[in-house]
Structure 1
């Protein structure tokens, strides 16, 4: 049996709102989902498993129609769909009144249920969120009815507020594959048996690394699963080692070179890290004007000459403070207390 596993598409979100490329990023997420459907047209998997948060919020009627049209393009593929904590169900949710294509199987209840597919000898279990948070480990207690079938569990959760679960325990209950979602950084939790799909596209500047979908085959004896990246956006965190000689022109040249050398689908958070003179200032707003620079964060420490400060501020509160801190054990806490105290007494701001 062949399947595609995807999660956390978050259709409708507008990443990096306020940036010139925000609308493009929103459209990219729709286009990436259409790309998955295109892969299903070509590869003809038996199942498309969507492990929650297909939408970023309650879907509009027109959004559901768009998705349903895409589903109609792969009639040979059975689509298993659940609502996650972002697009959770409500009494008046358009999810519930949607007339889905015949190949769509939607978990409507918050209680665990399952769909059986005799031709493929497969049973797929799952549920939908009816609340933003579910703290009970619901998945750990689900036991498949027929262990002779290929039993798959759709999971959305993994933290204390969103159905904590234990993959090993679920597999011991008799499941052959866990199709998980919710955590945006994907990966195999148990090789070949439990996969956190990750978000199809990064939805936030902290969603670093590759994102995409998973393609697999499974029978009762063996599972083969591979990750397929979708490269419309990748957030990268880059650090510039600042010194006392670093200038604004130098930082601008670094940012320009970085943007020129890296592929156009990469967007950047820039971090300025190092020790500088306490009266040094950098024009981070200028760097943030560059295309594909999401933001700039200063992580700078003042480069104090404590001997000179003691000499210049002898018999003052500042000089006495430095001498007192230097008499103490020179561990990390003492050094930080010295830095913070001197900074406060001189009226400088520490950037973290």
Structure 2
């Protein structure tokens, strides 16, 4: 069944079954990643791993299988891969923030998340994708736009921290201001969908907004009253490059650690079936040769017996009867049970 159109599809192709299994594995891994609470380091690590595995599944379906159904469209799969990799990087960024890593590290990771969401949004907007995802299209577009702006805001916030550490107060004001504007833009897009769905990230958004707004106000006040540095335009500042720190994690479906114990291990392997079939054929072939040889010999024997003309030999009872003299001798021998001993004694006397 198609994941979006809910239409049944049937193909007489085992690779279609493989593609469906991989797609479902990707969906399962993404669900496992989404179900992680990410409140502990282990949970964050698990979420990242799940999202990477899910991305690998969709990449394999996209690169190695035919587009059997609309949900296997390469552009749509690419969109999903970028979303999953962005979520994996989100987990990395959360771990980095918990570990209090340097703002320069966080800035590159946050920028990479923004780039992934931007690429996902571009693939979502390609012709034909709207008709595939149908009702989900608007919701997906809003979510991606929100995430894109949100992580741009985090990127600028981290850049502001870097500028502040380097005593570049004018730049820090510029970055903080850009972060505030990005957050406003993000929430403006989020309000386009129902309030119950925006509540999912409302708390995180409000917390981030309070932190960035607080930093912006302090930086602007200090610069206006103490440092008096010129605030540059955002376009004049060096661009931040994203850093890929979590790639898709492919796996070998034949690895026992991945797929578990073979459920068909007690079945006779196909090679054994083929060998048994070959043995049976050779056995039948040999048996046919022996039967054929036996029949040939039987025919030869029958021909030989006919050549002897045994049917002309008289086989009546008179011909088979023993002579009378022989019968009398046999009777005499039978009547004398000690004849053998007497014969031996007589012969011994002859040689004395």
User: By percentage of residues, which structure has more strand?
Assistant: 1
- Shorter-chain TM range is under 0.3
Q: TM-score, normalised by structure 2?
A: 0.23
User: By percentage of residues, which structure has more helix?
Assistant: 2
Q: TM-score, normalised by structure 1?
A: 0.23
Q: Taking CA–CA contacts closer than 8 Å with sequence separation of 6 or more, which of the two structures ends up with the larger relative contact order?
A: 2
